[in-house]
Amino acid sequence: MRTPPGTQKNFSEPRIVRINPNASDWNDTRKTPTELAKTADRALNQANKISNKWRMIISLPEGVGNADGKWSIYSPSAWKLEAIDATGKAIDLTTRTYVADGKRWTRTAMGSWIAPKPVSAWMATTASVSFGKWTRGFPVALAETVGSRRPFVQALLQGGAANGMKFKAQVRTVGDAGKKITSYRIVGTGGKGGTNQAEIVFESSRGLPVTIRSFDGNAAKPSRLFWTARWDFSANQTFSAKDFILPRK
């Protein structure tokens, strides 16, 4: 497997720990998985003047790798997003870059840029993804939820339930630098094959995902993905206008 830009080339087999739905540091919460999912999807759909830096670890039957990227979101119609495409049967991991300038958007595809399309069409899209595709396709699905009507976390619940998975919502409060930080998570297990797992941990202020883990149901050669992000919500952060200029082909 060739590595995408920003990926370490000398990278040993990653250790993506399987999810423990009964971990002692997580407790039941009155919030339901559906409530957490709707909050997160709304925050992504309406994202405004926020950014993040993310890291991914990927272990697929075709190979392993890791990558770094970032998002810059000025408004729901002006953004620059990077995501790893680990879908399909390709042996390559590729980085997708999405750019919108407020009126039109474009993205990379096979090393070039697709023809710009109206942002209005992007914003109206409500397509979701099946659980089988979600486990490997969530990095792209996550990026494509920004500024649209796509249901990213709700798609996990719907697709996973159709696959026989069971989901629950939990809460955790930990101390960090003298402060208490509360996080919520949705964890899903079981289903066809019995080894499917998915976890999304959310920060509590806006309900955005901070870590995501997925394991498909292939016990012999599972696909394992781990994504984590550090969000910047600060009011004084700056955005570069050049990030939102549509590139030429």
Question: Which band of pLDDT confidence, cut at 50, 70 and 90, is reported for residue 88?
Answer: low
Q: Tell me, rounded to whole angstroms, the distance of Cα 104 from its chain centroid.
A: 23
* The pairing of beta strand 224-232 with beta strand 50-60: antiparallel
pLDDT for 196 beyond 60: yes
19-30 pLDDT, tens per residue?
999 999 999 999
132-149 pLDDT, tens per residue?
889 889 999 999 999 999
42-77 pLDDT, tens per residue?
999 999 999 999 999 988 888 888 899 999 999 999
Neighbours of 118 (CB within 10 A): 11
What's the rounded Cα separation, in Å, for the pair 152 and 44?
9
Q: What are phi and psi of 195, to 5 degrees?
A: -115, 5
**Which domains are assigned to the chain?**
27-231 (2.50.20)
Nearest CA to 185 out of 13, 5, 37, 59 is that of: 37
pLDDT at 89: 55
